[in-house]
């Protein structure tokens, strides 16, 4: 085992980032275990090597999850060290504990401010990170100034850190929103791929409704997308999905004609009746809409699961229906990953498969359950197979289900029986086959399988009770052997609901229940009372005394629900002077025809949430969830995304009496060795001389040769 040293905390996605150049492995046998007092002595010594060794140990403690806050005073003294490696480790420690030890951190704030001017980009970034971690309102102006300076830094890594600091400052003081938006607007113009993802994340946290900031940068973000780091790709794709739903018209309009692909989705009619009607205008996709789809398509090959899932949800919500199937193979590929990844991907596929079965039907075998799958994975695969079932493949799926019913996983076997019931409901051709198969399961040794079969048969019989009275009789014969309360209650409900179809069997079942009423579960007792009431109304000669006996037992039951139900039933069915009016309606109340239950997928309503989000996974609106807006009826002006390109100045005159606008791209291609360096009077930064004009790289202003000091 090794301890990790020389690592820094990066806020990319809130995770630890270990630069390979700063990663050192320390063997525990190299150093004995030291107490905090020994580490303090080492940190306060005059030798840099001892301090560095102590900081490695301290950071190692943090990596192992141990508390090292007692060392804060000793560590913070070394923040001004000239040793770069030591300073990096000190900043790692301060980022971790600056929020807890705010008072001590404030004493070193001047050191942090000086470090913001350090020549080393990692030190500048670390100083800003520590400064933004000190969550004290009094230093908000200092943080704001530091963020503005870092946003104009030469290093893209520092600019990236400033974007992260924006989110921290906004959570500390929301009143700074307007100033932070100005910084975000400036960073959105940055051409570095390192900055793009971070600034979009800051945009989503601070001002997600300011779509106008994205207009000028939309095409740039689309083009940079492939080169941005994976975390940034996920953030940018999510933001662009919301942006596209507000700026482009729907490609899903009925009767739309895609001119770009020469595909027609309706038939031209030659009838004379339609000659006078206005023909549907062809749908022409906005070039920027197509740009987004085209530039995200290569990311389906990404090794990162989150990126693939983000592109899949973008195509699902933005692409024309005939193009959505592009994402199918990539999603199926993700099923080879870890079970945590499989769970999220299968949830999204389950939602997709309800609306578009054809997408995943060719890959049906990929959703077959394996013995090594966890129960929640098995259940999701079962859900998808049920959604994909149709007349052509139902026989294959039912054969697969027959195997699943024999599974040792009881919860999965029960879910399979429910899936069989759904298939029987959705596909009328196999209803009888499924019912017969479920009846055979009633003789299974497993009580869970029998109970679930009874519940599903009960729901299926409600759809066509006249044709299956034999099944009801068969279930009555098995009643004594069934012990699961829900199954017993379901059989009693069936006996009561269709008691007129089994007039000889129902009274006998009630007689058996009268014997065991006091030891039954509450749900069984309630259904027994209901059965007694229905038989009293339809066959009072045989069941009058039995009904009175059961009502007397229920009257003194320990459960108040059963006592209340018993009193209500007695007043409803037994005529008396007080309740004569209510007794007339007893049949209409208890024997009213009931609608058959609809067996639906649990994922039917999840499409109201954006795919790939926490809200979709939980099927409830999570905090911070932003709903996708509806497509606009008329597309907004697309010229807002046009960017003015300033042509580079050519044939500059030799005279230096006036300043000229210089295109920075022309400066970037000049060999650095051929430049003379100058110091800008205005901001004291180093800049280069090009064609007699001194261009300030930091603040992007242009000076004449005579206004710069060599």
Q: How far apart are CA 293 and CA 299, in angstroms?
A: 10
**For 23-51, what is the mean pLDDT?**
67
Residue 18 Cα distances to 8, 303, 401, 536, angstroms: 6, 20, 48, 78
Residue environment code for 527-536, b if the CB has 16+ CB neighbours within 10 A, otherwise e: bbbbbbbbbb
- Beta bridge partner(s), residue 24: 5
Q: What confidence tens digit (pLDDT) does each residue in 532-567 have?
A: 999 998 888 888 899 999 999 999 999 999 999 999
Q: Can you state the angle between helices 560-573 and 540-555, rounded to 10 degrees?
A: 140
- pLDDT of 661 > 50? The answer is no
Residue pair 335/263 in contact (Cβ under 8 Å)? The answer is no
- For the chain, the maximum distance between any two Cα atoms, rounded to a whole number of angstroms, is 121
Q: What's the pLDDT score for residue 255?
A: 52
Q: Which residues on neighbouring strands pair with residue 258, listed in sequence order?
A: 263, 283
**In angstroms, rounded to a whole number, what is the distance separating the alpha carbons of residues 179 and 185?**
10
pLDDT over 70 (residue 283): yes
- The DSSP bridge partners found for residue 3 are 26
Round to whole Å and give the CA distance between 155 and 686: 14
Task: Cite the beta strand spans of 466-624 per DSSP E.
Answer: none
Q: Please give the Cα distance from 465 to 187 (Å, whole number).
A: 69
CB of 457 closer than 8 Å to CB of 435: yes
Q: Which residue has the higher pLDDT, 653 or 136?
A: 136
CB neighbours of residue 666 within 10 Å: 14
DSSP 380-417: HHHHHHHHH--TTTHHHHHHHHHHHHT-S-HHHHHHHH
Phi, psi of 4 (to 5 degrees): -95, 130
CB of 472 within 8 A of CB of 495? yes
Residue 220 has pLDDT above 90, yes or no: yes
CB of 656 closer than 8 Å to CB of 705:
yes
Please state at what angle helix 469-477 crosses helix 431-441, rounded to 10 degrees: 10
Spatial distance between the Cα atoms of 160 and 194, rounded to a whole number of angstroms: 7
- Please determine, for residue 3, whether its predicted confidence score (pLDDT) is greater than 80: no
Q: How many residues does the chain have?
A: 710
Top-confidence range, 266-280, 287-301, 445-459, 626-640:
287-301
Q: What does the pLDDT read at residue 226?
A: 93
Q: What is the pLDDT of residue 51?
A: 86
Contact 165, 190 (CB under 8 A): no
What is the dihedral sign for C-alpha 694, 695, 698, 701? Answer: positive
Q: Which two tokens stand for residue 333?
A: 């590929």
Q: What is the pLDDT of residues 193-208, one digit of tens each?
A: 999 999 999 999 999 9
Given this model, what pLDDT does residue 224 score? 92
pLDDT confidence band for 396 (50 / 70 / 90): very high
Mark out the alpha helices in 137-261 (DSSP H runs). 140-151, 156-172, 177-188, 193-206, 212-215, 218-224, 230-247
DSSP 300-350: GG-S-HHHHHHHHHHHHHHS-GGGGGGGHHHHHHGGGS-HHHHHHHHHHHH
- The CA angle 624-627-632, to the nearest 5 degrees, is 150
Contact 468, 461 (CB under 8 A): yes
- CA–chain centroid gap for 67, Å, is 33
Give me the residues paired with residue 704 across strands: 693
Question: How confident is the model at residue 254, as a pLDDT?
Answer: 61
- Give the pLDDT score at 171: 92
Mean pLDDT, rounded, for 337-360: 92
Nearest alpha carbon to residue 547 among 499, 585, 502, 581: 499
Nearest to 447 by CA among 491, 481, 494, 495: 481
Instruction: State both tokens at 280.
Output: 């549907």
Share of residues in the chain with pLDDT > 70 (%): 81
Query: What 3 state SS string does 283-300 have?
Result: ECCCHHHHHHHHHHHHHH
Positive or negative torsion for Cα 28, 30, 33, 36: negative
Vertex 596: Cα angle to 593 and 601 (nearest 5): 160
Judge whether 305 and 345 are in contact, CB under 8 Å. yes
Residue with token string 């509450």:
522
CA dist 336 and 330 (Å) reads 11
Segment 467-473 mean pLDDT: 76
Rg (CA), the chain: 36
pLDDT of residue 477: 84
Checking if the pLDDT of 369 tops 90, the result is: yes
Write out the two tokens for 466.
């006249």
User: For residue 351, what pLDDT band results from cuts at 50, 70 and 90?
Assistant: very high
Q: Which of 410, 393, 398 is nearest to 358 (CA)?
A: 393
CA distance 76 to 91: 9
Q: What pLDDT is attached to residue 10?
A: 44
- Say how many CA atoms lie within 13 Å of 311 toward its Cβ: 31
CA 428, 432, 434, 435 torsion-angle sign? positive
Mean pLDDT of 493-520: 88
5, 56 Cβ separation under 8 angstroms: yes
| Integer Cα distance of 185 and 195 in angstroms | 13
**pTM for the full model?**
0.74
Mean pLDDT of the chain: 80
CA distance 678 to 2: 48
Across the range 626-636, mean pLDDT stands at 88
Q: What is the DSSP letter of 597?
A: P
What span, in angstroms and rounded, lies between the C-alpha atoms of 509 and 551? 16
SS (H, E, C) 629-654: CCCCCCCCCHHHHCCCCCCCCCCCCC
Q: Which of 111, 100, 172, 180 is nearest to 139 (CA)?
A: 172
* Other CB atoms within 10 A of residue 344 CB: 20
80-132: pLDDT as tens digits: 788 888 888 888 888 888 777 777 778 778 888 888 888 889 889 988 988 88
Q: How far apart are CA 438 and CA 576, in angstroms?
A: 45
Does residue 596 contact residue 247 with C-beta atoms inside 8 Å?
Answer: no
Lookup: tokens for 362: 């060719």
What pLDDT score was predicted for residue 64? Answer: 87
Residue with tokens 């023909």: 279
């Amino acid at each position: 085992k090794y301890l990790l040293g020389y690592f820094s905390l990066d806020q990319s996605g809130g995770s630890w980032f270990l630069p390979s150049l700063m990663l050192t492995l320390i063997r525990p046998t190299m150093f004995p275990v030291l107490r905090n007092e020994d580490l303090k002595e080492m940190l306060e010594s005059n030798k840099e090597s001892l301090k560095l060794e102590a900081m490695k140990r301290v950071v190692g403690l943090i990596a192992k999850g141990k508390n090292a806050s007692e060392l804060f005073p000793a560590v913070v003294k070394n923040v001004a060290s000239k040793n770069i490696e030591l300073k990096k480790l000190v900043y790692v420690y301060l980022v971790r504990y600056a929020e807890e030890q705010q008072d001590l951190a404030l004493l070193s704030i001047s050191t942090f401010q000086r470090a913001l001017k350090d020549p080393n980009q990692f030190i500048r970034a670390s100083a800003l990170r520590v400064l933004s971690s000190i969550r004290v309102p009094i230093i908000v102006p200092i943080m704001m100034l530091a963020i503005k300076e870092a946003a104009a830094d030469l290093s893209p890594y520092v600019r990236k850190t400033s974007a992260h600091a924006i989110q921290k400052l906004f959570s500390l003081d929301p009143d700074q929103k307007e100033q932070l938006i100005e910084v975000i607007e400036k960073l959105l113009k940055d051409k570095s791929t390192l900055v793009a993802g971070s600034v979009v994340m800051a945009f989503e946290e601070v001002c997600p409704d300011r779509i106008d900031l994205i207009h000028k940068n939309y095409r740039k973000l689309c083009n940079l997308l492939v080169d941005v780091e994976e975390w940034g790709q996920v953030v940018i794709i999510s933001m662009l999905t919301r942006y596209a739903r507000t700026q482009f018209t729907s490609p899903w309009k009925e009767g739309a004609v895609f001119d770009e692909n020469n595909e027609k989705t309706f038939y031209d009619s030659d009838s004379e009746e339609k000659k006078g009607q206005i023909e549907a205008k062809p749908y022409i996709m906005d070039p920027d809409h197509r740009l987004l789809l085209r530039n995200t398509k290569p990311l389906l090959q990404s090794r990162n699961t989150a990126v693939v899932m983000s592109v899949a949800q973008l195509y699902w919500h933005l692409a024309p229906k005939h193009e959505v199937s592009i994402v199918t193979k990539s999603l199926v590929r993700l099923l080879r990953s870890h079970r945590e990844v499989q769970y999220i991907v299968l949830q999204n596929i389950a939602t997709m498969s309800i609306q578009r079965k054809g997408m995943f039907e060719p890959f049906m075998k990929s959703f077959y359950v394996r013995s090594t799958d966890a129960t929640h994975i098995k259940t999701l695969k079962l859900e998808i197979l049920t959604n994909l079932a149709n007349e052509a493949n139902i026989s294959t799926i039912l054969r697969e289900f027959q195997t699943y019913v024999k599974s040792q996983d009881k919860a999965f076997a029960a879910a399979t029986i429910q899936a069989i019931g759904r298939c029987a409901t959705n596909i009328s051709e196999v209803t009888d086959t499924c019912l017969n198969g479920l009846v055979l399961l009633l003789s299974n040794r497993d009580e869970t399988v029998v109970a679930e079969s009874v519940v599903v048969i009960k729901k299926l019989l409600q759809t066509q009770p006249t044709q299956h009275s034999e099944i009801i009789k068969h279930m009555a014969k098995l009643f004594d052997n069934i012990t699961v309360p829900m199954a017993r209650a379901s059989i009693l409900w069936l006996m009561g609901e269709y008691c007129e179809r089994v007039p000889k069997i129902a009274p006998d079942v009630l007689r058996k229940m009268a014997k065991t009423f006091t030891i039954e579960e509450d749900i069984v007792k309630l259904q027994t009372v209901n059965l007694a009431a229905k038989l009293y109304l339809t066959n009072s000669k045989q069941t009058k005394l039995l009904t009175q006996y059961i009502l007397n037992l229920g009257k003194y039951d320990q459960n108040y629900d059963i006592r209340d139900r018993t009193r209500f039933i007695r007043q409803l069915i037994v005529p008396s002077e007080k309740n004569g009016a209510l007794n007339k309606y007893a049949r209409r109340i208890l024997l009213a025809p009931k609608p058959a239950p609809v067996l639906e997928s649990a994922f039917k309503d999840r499409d109201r949430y954006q795919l790939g989000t926490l809200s979709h996974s939980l099927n409830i609106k999570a905090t911070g969830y932003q709903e996708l807006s509806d497509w606009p009826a008329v597309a907004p002006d697309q010229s807002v995304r046009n960017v003015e390109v300033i042509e580079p100045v050519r044939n500059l005159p030799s005279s230096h009496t006036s300043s000229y606008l210089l295109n920075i791209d022309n400066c970037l291609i000049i060999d650095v060795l051929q430049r003379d360096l100058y110091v800008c009077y205005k901001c004291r930064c180093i800049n280069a001389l090009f064609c007699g004009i001194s261009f300030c790289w930091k603040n992007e202003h242009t000076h004449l040769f005579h206004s710069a000091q060599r």
